[in-house]
């Protein structure tokens, strides 16, 4: 742990001295690093990290990567993303490589955009998230803020084409840090897909973040798929700041990482806004996926729906920590949290922990969690109709994921969701699992 | 067609079937009646291949071959069909997808080409109309939220689509209203034929007015204690089972 601390410090000092930027950004980095230091590194004793042992991770000595300007080869993206009618944005090891330009949308390298901001603008765009629940993964991301993309959709614009952000890692032993900031101005509407993958057989640390700023009456659907290799460590943050009457749906599919920390933090800070937080964590071998939800209701009359599902195979482990915080002003909050897990092996394991903190009195807040195996009675019923055991199992596993689809209204995202899930099913020899 | 020979079966060390022998020839309709807990559903489940039972003695032959070692899906592919007393609800699997998978699995085992969704839907819609079921039931999750009667009709829909040669109906009449009973019976009768056999488990003689059996058997405590023709059902209706218990 001490070595890890020192390694981060060395990395930061190198980074800080070699990347002078605007004063605002420099200060932000420095302050974030100070905050990271004062937070300290979490251990199992930490309530928010109870189920995730980081000791193995702390032994790693990743080196922060100083980005070069290699161009991403778009031939590398998988078949299922081979669309002609989308706006592609390519990140290569976190750095913006190139992109399709599209009307009414600003797409720019994050650092170059942020450098042009005065301190008020910076505060709003970068630092506009709730101060509650500071987490070392996000403070670290802020300390190294540089790479990533800034996307801004103009007021009143309905995106004709979905924006697909491709994010590819191929840098051995490196520590990659990047952030995407996606800003939907009032009354705009659109779909954003983030697809992350890597070459096999390299170990790296990705500390990535995606921050949505959603203006009044915006309507946004988001799909995030992470298929990074199973030797990688991924510390991920998704933060959403929602203004009045905004509607947001995010759907996460995780299949990658040796150790995955998936922090999701929607902040409902505009009256009448609504957030659907969907997720599917698909783990096998000895993968560990820790999902930490923090749904924050600040203003009244907002709805949130969390539906997170896990399918766990082999000796993999899952965590679902579902925190809901309803501030005292947030009357008429309707918050619902559901976590369901399907264990495909005796040795797979999942820990679930709800955490509700409610400071308003007129609130509807429910949570529920289930963990089980494939229902034998149902399997028998399918088999008694002539369906082979393997097919019957696959039908049951597929049916487990079906509930998520009801929340997704865009066909584009729906089809992608299905194809990534099917791909994992196919690659995981599910039917043969016992 | 189906021959059950001196079948003994336990569940959790409790003997449920205690030497049951029954022979059903091609084209015959047999009915089994008997008090609650006498082992009727146990017999039906064992025939369909449920694995929770320990068979301590006896054999089951289907078309002359023992099926004791066959998986449930293999039996279904050979033409054995069980209409469940309590059909299972499976959320997230639509009825029509399930039916098509089932039919295509059976077709595949026979070397027939799988049906395309449109071809299948055409057949399913025809059958569903015959059973006076609501077409929307095809697109709903399998049995989920179906009324008791809808579930039972759905079993018969599956039977008429899969077209088995040995159908076992476990209390398919329970929970049906009078009209539905007639519709279900018509559905069964439409599937009758020289090469098709039925084993109808019921508590009520009424069903047997519509589906007329060739033989009626009384199952008490895991054994067939009396067999007769359809008049036995009438006799049971008036006298109950006590006169047969010893
Ligand atoms: N899993 C089980 N564990 C223990 N006993 C069981 C189990 N399943 C069935 N039994 C017992 O086996 C006996 C026969 O049950 P079965 O369901 O075959 O009766 P049945 O004749 O179909 O009754 P009904 O007319 O009520 O449907 C009952 O005493 C029942 O309690
Ligand atoms: Mg029964």
pLDDT in tens, B75-86: 999 999 999 999
Q: Is A403 on the interface with B (CB under 8 A)?
A: yes
In chain B, which residue's Cα lies nearest the Cα of A381?
B88
Contacts of A416 (CB under 8 A, 6+ apart): A80, A81, A193, A223, A225
- Interstrand relation of A95-99 and A363-372 (parallel, antiparallel or unpaired): unpaired
CB-closest option in B82, B92, B158 to A400: B92
- pLDDT value of position B237: 86
Q: Is the pLDDT at B181 greater than 70, yes or no? A: yes
Confidence of residue B244 (pLDDT cuts 50, 70, 90): confident
Instruction: Kindly report, residue by residue over A317-340, the tens digit of the pLDDT.
Output: 999 999 999 999 999 999 999 999
Query: In B, which residues are within 8 Å of A403 by CB distance?
Result: 91-92
Confidence of residue B109 (pLDDT cuts 50, 70, 90): very high
Q: What is the signed CA dihedral for A185, A188, A191, A194, rounded to 10 degrees?
A: 0
Handedness of CA B153, B139, A392, A308 (dihedral sign): negative
Query: How close A341 gets to chain B, by Cα (Å)?
Result: 15
Confidence of residue B140 (pLDDT cuts 50, 70, 90): very high
Residue A130, pLDDT above cutoff 90: no
What mean pLDDT comes out for the span A387-399?
Answer: 95
**Looking at the complex, does the CB of residue A399 fall below 8 Å from at least one CB of chain B?**
yes
For residue A133, the model assigns a pLDDT of 63
pTM score, two decimals? 0.91
Q: Which range among A209-223, A254-268, B115-129 shows the weakest confidence by mean pLDDT?
A: B115-129
Residue A434: is its pLDDT beyond 60?
no
Site of tokens 């955009």:
A113
Task: Tell me what the mean pLDDT of segment A106-120 comes to.
Answer: 95
Closest chain B CA to residue A394: B93
What are the phi and psi torsion angles at B242 (to 5°)? Answer: -60, -35
Please check whether residue A207 is in contact with residue A179, taking contact to mean a CB–CB distance below 8 angstroms.
no
Contact across the interface for B76 and A385, Cβ inside 8 Å: yes
A394 Cα to chain B: minimum distance (Å): 11
Q: Could you tell me the two tokens for A162? A: 């979905």
Token pair 């659109």 is found at A190
Q: Report the pLDDT value the prediction gives residue A127, as an integer from 0 to 100.
A: 77
Predicted confidence (pLDDT) at residue A433 exceeds the cutoff of 70: no
What residue ranges line ligand 1, CB within 6 angstroms? Answer: B 11-12, 14, 16, 34, 36-42, 85
ipTM over 0.85: yes
Q: Please state the rounded mean pLDDT for residues A205-228.
A: 97
Q: Measured between beta carbons, which residues in chain A are less than 8 angstroms from residue B98?
A: 382, 385, 395
Q: Whose CA is nearest to atom 5 of ligand 1?
A: B11
pLDDT over 90 percentage in chain A: 89
Residues A44-79 pLDDT 10s? 999 999 999 999 999 988 989 866 778 999 899 999
Centre a 10 Å sphere on the Cβ of residue A67 and count the other Cβ atoms it contains: 18
**Which positions in chain A touch B158 (Cβ < 8 Å)?**
385
| Structure confidence at residue B141 (pLDDT) | 94
What average pLDDT does chain B have?
A: 93
The pLDDT value recorded for residue B175 is 85
Task: Please tell me which of the candidates B71, B91, B92 has its beta carbon nearest to residue A383.
Answer: B71
Which of B88, B99, B141 to mutate against chain A (most A CBs within 10 Å)? B88
Q: What is the pLDDT of residues A353-367, one digit of tens each?
A: 999 999 999 999 999
| Gap from B25 CA to chain A (nearest CA, Å) | 22
Q: Which of A383, A391, A403 sits opposite B72 (nearest CB)?
A: A383
Crossing angle, helix B117-130 and helix B178-190, to 10 degrees? Answer: 130
- Report CA torsion sign: B190, B191, B197, B201: negative
Residue whose CA is closest, atom 25 of ligand 1?
B36
Higher pLDDT, A102 or B188: A102
Q: What is the 3-state secondary structure (H, E, C) of chain A?
A: CHHHHHHHHHHHHHHHHHCCCCHHHHHHHHHHHHHHHHHCCCCCCCHHHCCCCCHHHHCCCCEECCCCCCCCCHHHCCHHHCCCCCEEEEEECCEEEEECCCCCEEEEEHHHHHHCCCHHHHHHHCCCCCCCCCCHHHHHHHHCECECEEEEECCCCECCCCEEEEEEECCCCEEEEEEEEEEECCCCEEEEEEEEEECCCCCCEEEEEEEEEECCCCEEEEEEEEECCCCCEEEEEEEEEECCCCEEEEEEEECCCCEEEEEEEEEECCCCCEEEEEEEEEECCCCEEEEEEEEEECCCCCEEEEEEEEEECCCCEEEEEEEEEECCCCCCEEEEEEEEEEECCCCCEEEEEEEEEECCCCEEEEEEEEEECCCHHHHHHHHCCCCCHHHHHHHHHHHHHHHHHCCCCCHHHHHHHHHHHHHHHHHCCHHHCC
The model's confidence at residue A19, banded by pLDDT at 50, 70 and 90, is confident
What is the share, in percent, of chain B residues with pLDDT greater than 70?
100
- In this structure, of B12-26, B109-123, B179-193, the range with the lowest mean pLDDT score is B179-193
Ligand nearest to the CA of B13: 1
Own/partner long-range contacts of A20-25 (Cβ < 8 Å, ≥24 apart): A21/A111, A21/A114, A21/A115, A21/A146, A22/A114, A22/A115, A22/A116, A22/A117, A24/A114, A24/A117, A24/A118, A24/A119, A24/A122, A25/A111, A25/A114, A25/A115, A25/A122, A25/A145
Q: Ligand 1 test: best mutation among B31, B42, B171, most atoms within 8 Å of CB?
A: B42
Considering only residues B243 and A141, tell me which one the structure prediction assigns the higher pLDDT. A141
**If you count residue pairs, one on A and one on B, with CB atoms under 8 Å apart, how many are there?**
74
Whether A391 has its CB under 8 Å from any CB of chain B: the answer is yes
In 3D space, the residue among A11, A54, A289 whose CA is nearest the CA of residue A177 turns out to be A11
């Amino acid at each position: 742990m001490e070595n890890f601390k020192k390694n981060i410090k060395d990395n930061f000092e190198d980074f800080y001295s070699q990347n002078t930027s605007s004063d605002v950004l420099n200060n932000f980095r420095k302050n974030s690093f100070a905050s990271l230091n004062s937070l300290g590194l979490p251990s199992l004793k930490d309530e928010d990290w109870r189920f995730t042992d980081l000791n193995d991770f702390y032994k790693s000595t990743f080196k922060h990567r100083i980005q070069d300007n290699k161009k991403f080869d778009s031939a590398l993206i998988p078949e299922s993303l081979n669309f002609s009618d989308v706006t592609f944005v390519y990140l290569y090891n976190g750095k913006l490589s190139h992109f399709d330009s599209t009307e009414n949308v600003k797409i720019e390298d994050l650092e170059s955009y942020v450098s042009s901001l005065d301190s008020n603008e910076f505060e709003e765009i970068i630092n506009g998230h709730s101060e509650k629940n500071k987490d070392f993964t996000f403070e670290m991301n802020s300390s190294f803020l540089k790479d990533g993309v800034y996307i801004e959709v103009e007021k009143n614009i309905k995106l004709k084409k979905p924006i697909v952000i491709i994010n590819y890692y191929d840098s051995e032993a490196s520590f990659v840090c990047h952030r995407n900031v996606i800003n939907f101005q009032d009354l705009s509407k659109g779909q954003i897909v983030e697809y992350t993958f890597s070459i096999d057989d390299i170990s790296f640390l990705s500390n990535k973040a995606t921050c949505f700023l959603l203006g009044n009456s915006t309507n946004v659907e988001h799909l995030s798929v992470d298929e990074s290799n199973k030797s990688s460590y991924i510390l991920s943050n998704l933060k959403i700041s929602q203004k009045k009457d905004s509607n947001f749906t995010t759907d996460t599919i995780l299949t990658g990482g040796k150790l995955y920390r998936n922090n999701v933090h929607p902040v409902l800070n505009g009256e009448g806004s609504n957030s659907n937080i969907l997720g599917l964590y698909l783990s096998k071998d000895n993968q560990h996926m820790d999902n930490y939800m923090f749904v924050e209701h600040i203003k009244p009359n907002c709805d949130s729906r969390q539906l997170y599902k896990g399918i766990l195979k082999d000796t993999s482990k899952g965590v679902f920590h579902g925190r809901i915080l309803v501030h005292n002003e947030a009357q008429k909050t309707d918050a619902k949290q559901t976590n369901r897990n399907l264990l495909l092996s005796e040795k797979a394991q999942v820990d679930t922990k709800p955490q509700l903190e409610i400071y308003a009195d007129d609130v509807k807040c429910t949570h529920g969690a289930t963990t089980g195996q494939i229902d034998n009675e149902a399997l028998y019923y399918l088999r008694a109709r002539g369906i082979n055991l393997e097919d019957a199992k696959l039908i049951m596993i597929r049916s487990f994921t079906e509930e998520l689809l009801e929340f997704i209204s865009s066909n584009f995202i729906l089809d992608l969701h299905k194809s990534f899930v099917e791909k994992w099913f196919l690659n995981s020899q599910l039917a043969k699992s016992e | 067609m189906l021959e059950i020979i001196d079948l003994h079966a336990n569940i959790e060390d409790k003997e449920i079937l205690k030497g049951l022998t029954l022979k059903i020839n091609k084209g015959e309709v047999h009915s089994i009646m008997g008090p609650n807990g006498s082992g009727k559903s146990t017999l039906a489940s064992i025939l369909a291949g449920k694995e929770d039972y320990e068979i301590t003695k006896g054999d089951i032959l289907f078309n002359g071959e023992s099926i004791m070692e066959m998986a449930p899906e293999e039996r279904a592919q050979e033409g054995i069909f069980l209409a469940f007393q309590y059909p299972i609800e499976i959320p997230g699997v639509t009825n029509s997808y399930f039916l098509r998978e089932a039919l295509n699995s059976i077709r595949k085992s026979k070397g027939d080409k799988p049906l395309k969704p449109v071809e299948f839907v055409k057949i399913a819609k025809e059958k569903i109309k015959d059973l006076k079921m609501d077409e929307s039931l095809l697109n709903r999750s399998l049995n989920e939220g179906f009324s008791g009667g809808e579930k039972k009709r759905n079993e018969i829909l599956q039977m008429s689509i899969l077209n088995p040669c040995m159908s076992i109906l476990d209390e398919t009449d329970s929970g049906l209203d009078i009209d539905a009973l007639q519709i279900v019976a018509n559905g069964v009768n439409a599937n009758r034929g020289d090469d098709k056999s039925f084993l109808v488990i019921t508590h009520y003689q009424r069903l047997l007015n519509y589906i007329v059996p060739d033989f009626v058997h009384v199952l008490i405590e895991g054994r067939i204690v009396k067999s007769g023709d359809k008049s036995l059902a009438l006799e049971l209706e008036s006298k109950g089972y006590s006169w047969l218990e010893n």
